[in-house]
Chains A and B, each alone.
Chain A
Amino acid sequence: MSHKIIVPIGPYHPLQEEPEYFQLYVEGEKVVDIDIIIGYNHRGIEKLSESKHFDQVPFLVERICGICSSSHPYAYCLAVENILGGEANIVPEKALYIRTIIDELQRIHSHLLWLGLAGHFIGYNTVWMWAWKYREPVLDMFEMVTGNRNNYAMFKVGGVRRDLKDEDIPILKKMLDELSPGVDLFRGAIMDDPVIKMRLKGVGVLTRQQVVDWCVVGPTARASGVNMDIRRDEPYGVSDRLDWKVILEKDGDIFCKTIVRILELYESISIIRQSLNKMPKDGPIDAGVKDIPAGEGIGRVEAPRGECFHYIKSDGTNRPVRHKIRSPSFMNVASDKVSAVGGTISDATLTLAAVDPCYCCTERVAVINKTDKCKVMNGWDLIKLSQEKTLKLKEGYYGRPE
């Protein structure tokens, strides 16, 4: 091929849930380079945080992202509690359990959301519909416990804002029981389907070395065999008192990333069940922290996409001097540079989506001067390409429908 074609994706398209802009450089079908331009969602939250007092910041950071909207306030609270002497030393017992329950419920709803989108990208719209059908009761659980389907406003330094009512616990358990058959359904539908296997195996591979070099975190790293999970490495809430395991896969392709997320759903359900059983019946839920001394603290939690990191510097006043936020997608999206290059265009959307990118978190995807040789394809064209490839595989396997 003598000349390269540039394929811009984004930034604004009705089918994309968030503004993003990738610029793919292709030669024929093959992607040879990729440019990621981000920043369309930048809202200056780090700076804003310096003008809020410590009790207001959780409400602000919760709005960084609607999907992981409990990870950010949780990591922030851990950072402040780090200055105060650590979560385990100041937060009351019952609050620790409630924190873990909210954090895991969020992981279930986030993984189901991703599963639905991935299903849609490969042309399995049934997976999409069913995943989102099962996600709905999870949001109902949130509504029941916190009053909100998103932006839960549960976290505060030293505890949680709302108690979990005794009469809600049996209802929550029943809803979890109804969720498990749904997860079984996805496990069967994805692990046993030969076409999905052909479509996802060996696509968008991120090797173990690439994971290390690009400091990739979360399920994306675990799918490549890197054994890390903040919940186990640096336990928070009650994650060290419960029985669960870290899910690992070896190959680093999209199939492995899917499997990791599906199996994690089981672990999360199990964690919530155990927490509901072990949680003390009553007791305080808030330590009533008043002043934050001068110092610096780091808090991190395992968000659905990986490690979410908050750094707080305090000078003894009621506002942070510096609040540094690093979301997991910031590291994971950057690694698209290695996972998408070398693949074909029809795999590109899927590869880019496989890290479960969250642009509100990264806030941030390609603008290059268009050359005359530029061929414009939009997001929908790419999803179509991806769906067509699945269809071809399907016809190859089952034969063309009459």
Chain B
Amino acid sequence: MNMRDRIKESLQDKIKDWQEKYIKRVYFSIDKKDIFEVTQVLFRGLELRLITISATDMPDYFEIIYHFSNDPAGEIYSVRVTLADKLKPEIQSITPLLPAAEWIERETWEMLGINFKGHPNLKKLLLNEDWPENDYPLRNKK
């Protein structure tokens, strides 16, 4: 069974909007509350590698994409989560499960102001400690 079917089988109804846009690039959306469980299945169960997390400030919502790599096949599975609350964007942290996410989540938090609940060490990574509160460089300024 290839990885696509294995993911579909193990996540089943958690997957919304499955898109195979380009060769070896699969995008699918999940609900915000499922992120910890989905990461557990993809990282521990199916042994995919987390490449990084990219977040974007869209006009009406925040979009976070978790990029997972299936190295033997050279495929990338991008898990999309939408955060509708523009004023207080929040999502559960996956660092307790996946140590590599620590820096990635810190960077996303300081750059876009997305709060990662349950992160063990959420402090500035690239910006200086005295960078002003509530000023997030990668947010769109009106």
Contacts and interface: CB of A to CB of B under 8 A. Distances in A.
Interface in B86-142: 98-100, 102-104, 111, 124-129, 137-138
B76 interface: yes
Nearest to B103: A334
Interface of A: 38-39, 42, 44, 46-47, 82, 85-86, 212-216, 227-228, 230, 233-235, 295-298, 300, 307, 309, 311, 313, 321-322, 324, 326, 330-331, 334, 363-364, 367
16 contacts: A39-B124, A42-B127, A233-B73, A233-B74, A234-B24, A234-B74, A298-B78, A300-B76, A307-B51, A311-B65, A311-B67, A322-B56, A324-B52, A326-B52, A330-B103, A364-B125
Contacts of B72: 233
Interface in B1-54: 21-25, 27, 47, 49-52, 54
B71 interface: yes
Interface string B50-84: 11101010000000010101011111101000000
Nearest to B131: A39
Contact of B56 (A42, A44, A313): A313
A64 to B, nearest CB: 13
B67 A215 contact: no
A230 B56 CA distance: 26
Main secondary structure of the interface of B (DSSP, over half): mixed
Contacts, number: 84
B126 A309 contact: no
A215 B76 contact: no
Nearest to B27: A296
A215 B51 contact: yes
Interface residues of B, number: 38
B122 to A, nearest CB: 15
Contacts of B102: 334
B63 to A, nearest CB: 9
- Which 9 A-B pairs have CB atoms at the shortest separation, nearest pair first? A234-B74, A324-B54, A215-B100, A233-B74, A326-B52, A39-B126, A322-B56, A42-B126, A228-B71
A298 B25 contact: yes
A212 B102 CA distance: 14
Contact of A214 (B65, B75, B99): B99
